[in-house]
Structure 1
């Protein structure tokens, strides 16, 4: 074989390698952007069926959520609890565990933070009041996951069922705590005591953006690095990928399973604390923003990648803020955002199915 043939063969091989490397990246991009675009188109069709111009609806969302100073500040503030929930779900999903109980863990963490922080004002320094609130919220969230964790770790019970049940109970229990145990006697509305604005998380610069945003960003990046760059994260991922192989390698599968639940639920509790200690200041009875279930499709679209999750949370937060303005101007219910989320879930599932079929054909 001549030198020219060798060079040609080498160039052909390098091109093939480059194509093989591009295919996964292209596939991931299509599986991420494709469901988003399809969900917006499907939602646009629904809007047209009810007599609303989808272009006006989406333009109001962009104007309010992205292209106005106040809207951007509100978008950034809304991101904080969603980022903590992203960190929670990235830990669980990368470890092969379906923690679908984040809403209950979120609310219980919020209630505990709202109940304890106002009582500590004036007793402890301001920074310590906030720290205690966050720590207690994380502990309560982790404790609420013990039962599903034990059942999964030692009896192999499907955690999808148990975490959903515990979430349902957690939402109801949080409301009971507000109405009976932590009720503010100075108000007629059933709610906890209110943390004064001056004692909440500080604002960033001269804006209304809560510094909870910074802690949420740190949480997502730290979790991403832990799960992808550390030996502990590798152990957690091994447990989810192949428990039998992990046990054969000498890892304590039950203890690592418990650790995944505790970390994931703890971050969900921190999400609740960031919302209360940074923005709301109290918890009203029957309050449930259902952030946990709304964040799930974002984490899947991001393919459990921290940076991608941050970008998607930013756009989703802008959509939440903008939809409130669009609802007032066009008479669309604010809950229409949930229709968009549902459309996103459907399109995401269809995208995964199509990708699975294509992989089977390639093999």
Structure 2
């Protein structure tokens, strides 16, 4: 089953996006998610207005909070680029969390040793390439099964995510363990050797990598012949065959490029923020970004806006959780409600369009 077979269809199969659809499928799910989340907060005896006010104050209006928000965006944007690449090609790469973690772990294992023998200008790009290769290789198995056996990529990529998370933990605890620490983790990259920050701030320059990745993917998928071939393969594989396109080769290319971008997201997080990878670390960024990409209608510019909004909620929500006694995972609850609201809105819009045609 391809992404074009789902209720959340691809842009190529949609009619022009008017004001009614904008309100119904983008704004309405956001408002519904915020209102339902407020209800959950009220049931937890937490003032929803105070919670959202603190989120905005900590994640947006304070300079320190805004810097943290922009830094948080860096890996999320790379993951958004990964998903846009796959979804616009009509394929579901739901294995990005596994690809992200494996890229992060390999960078965590290699960055510190490489920093002792290579200048920073060579070490950082090499680490990013290592992470991209790790993500691409981990996406290769679902790609081959989809391309040559027609196996449902939703199932295989989810399975590979589970295996990737488990393998990442094993690598940290056994093969890449830092013997100098009591906490299972990789060696720590010194702050001076990490991605530089933007001038007069603590914002990681990984933000620029993320923005470039999203815009580059958007340009490739909407303005190039290669992107057009990928969209044809996803929308109508039979037509692609009649047009002389190699469906298996293009399917593998999509998965590997998408996996590489997910691996780069892991590298950006380690090189720009964490400096190492601890055992059992899994921020689950991938599943959080999926509804944002759908809200953006697979548009790169819109994805940047929604990732920024989510980053505000994420950074502000972490502080609000400590201040107001809200569970630290409440941000994921909001995202889950948003995903459900988005699916319901798409269903309603689909039925509405059926009645008008």
Which stretch shifts more, 122-131 or 107-116?
122-131
Contact map agreement 2:24 2:349 (CA 8 A) in 1: no
Task: Tell me what 1:102 maps to.
Answer: 96
Q: CA deviation at 1:360?
A: 1.1
Structure 1 segment 161-310 matched on structure 2, within 5 A: 161-310=155-304
Work out which of the residue numbers 321, 325, 332 in structure 1 matches 2:326: 332
- 1:234/1:360 CA distance change after superposition, 3 Å: same
Work out which of the residue numbers 107, 123, 140 in structure 2 matches 1:113: 107
Residue 41 of structure 2 corresponds to residue 47 of structure 1: yes
| Secondary structure class of the residue paired with 1:145 | helix
Looking at structure 1, the residues matched to 236 and 16 of structure 2 have their Cα atoms a distance apart, in angstroms, of: 28
Write the deviation string for residues 282-323 of structure 1: whole angstroms up to 9, x where unpaired: 000000000001000000000000000000000100110001
Residue 337 of structure 2 corresponds to residue 343 of structure 1: yes
Work out which of the residue numbers 46, 50, 73 in structure 2 matches 1:56: 50
Structure 1 segment 145-156 matched on structure 2, within 5 A: 145-156=139-150
Larger radius of gyration: 1
Looking at structure 2, the residues matched to 258 and 351 of structure 1 have their Cα atoms a distance apart, in angstroms, of: 32
Please provide the CA RMSD for this pair.
Answer: 1.0
Residue 102 of structure 2 corresponds to residue 128 of structure 1: no
Looking at structure 1, the residues matched to 261 and 23 of structure 2 have their Cα atoms a distance apart, in angstroms, of: 28
Task: Tell me what 1:34 maps to.
Answer: 28
Looking at structure 1, the residues matched to 192 and 296 of structure 2 have their Cα atoms a distance apart, in angstroms, of: 36
Runs of 4+ in 1 over 4 A off after TM superposition: none
Task: Tell me what 1:16 maps to.
Answer: none
Which stretch shifts more, 122-131 or 57-66?
122-131
Task: Tell me what 1:12 maps to.
Answer: none
Work out which of the residue numbers 120, 126, 143 in structure 1 matches 2:137: 143
Q: CA deviation at 1:28?
A: 2.6
Which stretch shifts more, 117-126 or 171-180?
117-126
Task: Tell me what 1:354 maps to.
Answer: 348
Write the deviation string for residues 71-98 of structure 1: whole angstroms up to 9, x where unpaired: 0000000000000000000000000000
- Normalising by structure 1, what TM-score? 0.93
Write the deviation string for residues 333-360 of structure 1: whole angstroms up to 9, x where unpaired: 1101111011101100110011011011
Looking at structure 2, the residues matched to 339 and 179 of structure 1 have their Cα atoms a distance apart, in angstroms, of: 30
Looking at structure 2, the residues matched to 22 and 152 of structure 1 have their Cα atoms a distance apart, in angstroms, of: 31
Looking at structure 1, the residues matched to 349 and 24 of structure 2 have their Cα atoms a distance apart, in angstroms, of: 10
Residue 71 of structure 2 corresponds to residue 77 of structure 1: yes
Q: CA deviation at 1:24?
A: 2.2
Q: CA deviation at 1:31?
A: 1.1
Task: Tell me what 2:6 maps to.
Answer: none
Task: Tell me what 1:67 maps to.
Answer: 61
Looking at structure 2, the residues matched to 22 and 136 of structure 1 have their Cα atoms a distance apart, in angstroms, of: 40
Write the deviation string for residues 22-70 of structure 1: whole angstroms up to 9, x where unpaired: 8724413431111000000011111111211110110000000011000
Looking at structure 2, the residues matched to 50 and 120 of structure 1 have their Cα atoms a distance apart, in angstroms, of: 49
Matched residue count? 343
| Secondary structure class of the residue paired with 1:31 | helix
Work out which of the residue numbers 154, 169, 173 in structure 2 matches 1:160: 154
